[in-house]
Amino acid sequence: MAAVPDRLDAARQRHDELSRTLHESNYRYHVLSDPPMSDAEYDALLRELIQLEDAYPALRTAVSPTQQVGAPRSTAFPEHRHLEPMLSLDNVFDREELAAWERRVERSLALVPRYVCELKVDGVAISLTYRRGVLAVAATRGDGVTGEDVTPQVRTIRNVPYRLATPDPPEVVEVRGEVCFPVDEFEAMNAERIERGEAAFANPRNAASGALRQKDPRITATRPLEVVCHGLGASEGIAFTAHSESLAWLRGVGLTVADETEVVADLDQIMDYVKRWTGQRHAPRYEIDGVVVKIDAFADRAELGTTARAPRWAVAYKLPPVEKETQLRGIQVNVGRTGKVTPFAVLEPVSVGGVTVAMATLHNDDQVAAKDVRPGDTVIVRRAGDVIPEVVGPVLAKRPPGLEPWRMPSHCPFCATELVRPDAEANTFCPNLDCPQRLWGALEHFASRGAMDIEGLGEETAKLLRDEGIVHSLADLYDLSEEQLLDLPGFAEKKARALLHSIEESKDRGLDRLLIGLNIRHVGPTVARTLARHFGSIDALMAASDEQIAAAPDIGPVIARSVADFLGDERNRRLIDRLKAAGVRTDVQRRQDGGLLGGWTVVLTGTLAGFTRDQAKEALEARGAKVTSSVSSRTNVVVAGEDPGTKLAKAEQLEVPVVDEAAFVTLLETGTLPGA
pLDDT tens-digit map of 466-509: 889 999 999 999 999 999 999 999 899 999 999 999 999 999 88
Residue numbers annotated as active site: 120
What is the C-alpha to C-alpha distance for residues 613 and 618, in angstroms, rounded to an integer? Answer: 9
In angstroms, how far is the first alpha carbon of the chain from the final one?
Answer: 69
Backbone φ and ψ for 361, nearest 5 degrees, come out as -70, 150
68 closest CA partner among 11, 14, 30: 30
CB-CB contact of 277 with 120 (8 Å): no
Strands 601-605, 637-640: pairing is: parallel
pLDDT at position 591 is 42
Number of helical (H) and strand (E) elements in the chain, helices listed first: 24, 21
What is the C-alpha to C-alpha distance for residues 544 and 559, in angstroms, rounded to an integer? Answer: 13
pLDDT at position 28 is 62
pLDDT tens-digit map of 120-154: 998 999 999 999 999 999 999 988 889 999 999 99
For the sheet with 637-640, list strands across it: 626-628, 601-605, 637-640, 658-659
522 closest CA partner among 676, 347, 339, 355: 339
Domains of the chain as residue ranges with CATH: 3-67 (1.10.287.610), 79-318 (3.30.470.30), 326-398 (2.40.50.140), 436-581 (1.10.150.20), 601-670 (3.40.50.10190)
What is the C-alpha to C-alpha distance for residues 298 and 240, in angstroms, rounded to an integer? Answer: 8
**In this structure, what DSSP letter does residue 66 have?**
G
Instruction: Specify which residues 326 forms β-bridges with.
Output: 379
User: Quick one: which H or E segment has residue 665?
Assistant: helix 661-670
CB-CB contact of 624 with 596 (8 Å): yes
The whole model's pTM is what?
0.49
pLDDT at position 72 is 45
What is the C-alpha to C-alpha distance for residues 32 and 250, in angstroms, rounded to an integer? Answer: 31
Kindly report the CA angle at 371 between 370 and 377, in degrees rounded to 5?
Answer: 140
What is the C-alpha to C-alpha distance for residues 132 and 171, in angstroms, rounded to an integer? Answer: 5
Backbone φ and ψ for 496, nearest 5 degrees, come out as -65, -45
Q: What is the mean pLDDT of each run of 10 residues along the chain (676 residues)?
A: 59 80 66 58 78 78 60 63 92 94 95 96 95 94 89 91 92 96 86 70 80 84 92 94 96 94 95 92 88 96 90 92 87 88 92 80 86 93 67 89 95 93 83 83 86 88 90 94 93 93 92 92 84 89 92 86 91 93 82 62 85 81 81 85 79 83 81 68
pLDDT at position 2 is 40
Please give the torsion angle defined by the CA atoms of residues 49, 50, 55 and 60, in that order, rounded to the nearest 10 degrees: 80
Q: Sign of torsion, CA 411 412 416 418?
A: negative
Coil, helix or strand at residue 342: strand
pLDDT at position 607 is 84
Backbone φ and ψ for 534, nearest 5 degrees, come out as -75, -40
CB-CB contact of 289 with 385 (8 Å): yes
